[in-house]
Amino acid sequence: MAAEIAPLDLSPFFEQHLVLETERLVIRPITLTDAEDVFAYASDPEVTKYMTFLTHASLADSIKWLMTVPKEFDRRERMTFAMTLKSDGTFIGSSGFHDISSEHHRLMMGYVLNRKYWDKGYMTEAVREMIRFAFEEMSMHRVAANCDLENVRSARVMERCGMKLEGTLRDYEIRHGTFVSTKTYAIINGN
């Protein structure tokens, strides 16, 4: 008979929002003061092309979204981070954990980066740190993420971070009014 695996106690991670650091980045709580920086990437159709949210038409759209972040954190549904440059505090994108399951020791990850900072290795650096944190600090067993079939950049980030392609989810989500299929990548703690 298999040993019982107890649910994780994730309450310490929801008492105060985390701050993570890498060589070049500070990954900190995202706040309302980040609204203009969020709008800078969220209003760019090239950036939002593969995102489930609609391209932000005004700063009010970014503020409205940012107002949901603390509520989701308080309900233990999501942790959303601002990604900033360690050198000068410049906001370059956001990332986070969602679909967090203490019972099954797993979570999903998502991320988005201002186009000015593409192709500089920032996202790979951030995702590696988030995976490390999920495994070493939160004791997660599985970290997964999805990307659009055509989102080559995101797929490369996941592959560089050791995540393995597990399959295609056909018509998995609605994006900009259309059903789209996504690829699922995951990494298992210790593998």
| Selection from 123, 52, 49, 110 nearest residue 78 by Cα | 110
pLDDT in the model for residue 2: 73
Asked if 8 contacts 105 with a C-beta cutoff of 8 angstroms, the reply is yes
Three-class DSSP labels, 68-131: HHHHHHHCCCEEEEEEEECCCCCEEEEEEEEEEECCCCEEEEEEEECHHHCCCCHHHHHHHHHH
pLDDT in the model for residue 60: 98
The tokens for 161 are: 């971070």
Q: Residue 187: helix, strand or coil by DSSP?
A: strand
Residue pointed to by tokens 């900009």: 176
Q: What is the CATH code for 11-143?
A: 3.40.630.30
pLDDT in the model for residue 56: 97
pLDDT in the model for residue 32: 97
pLDDT in the model for residue 110: 97
pLDDT in the model for residue 3: 79
Residue ranges of the chain with pLDDT lower than 70? 1
DSSP 3: P
List, for residues 59-73, the tens digit of each pLDDT value.
Answer: 999 999 999 999 999
| Selection from 113, 94, 127, 123 nearest residue 44 by Cα | 113
Pairwise CA distance, residues 10 & 104, whole Å: 12
At position 158, the amino acid (one-letter code) is: M
**Global confidence as pTM:** 0.95
pLDDT in the model for residue 11: 94
Q: Describe the strand order of the beta sheet including 25-29 as a list of residue ranges.
A: 20-21, 25-29, 78-85, 91-101, 106-113, 142-148, 178-188, 164-175
Pairwise CA distance, residues 130 & 122, whole Å: 12
pLDDT in the model for residue 190: 87
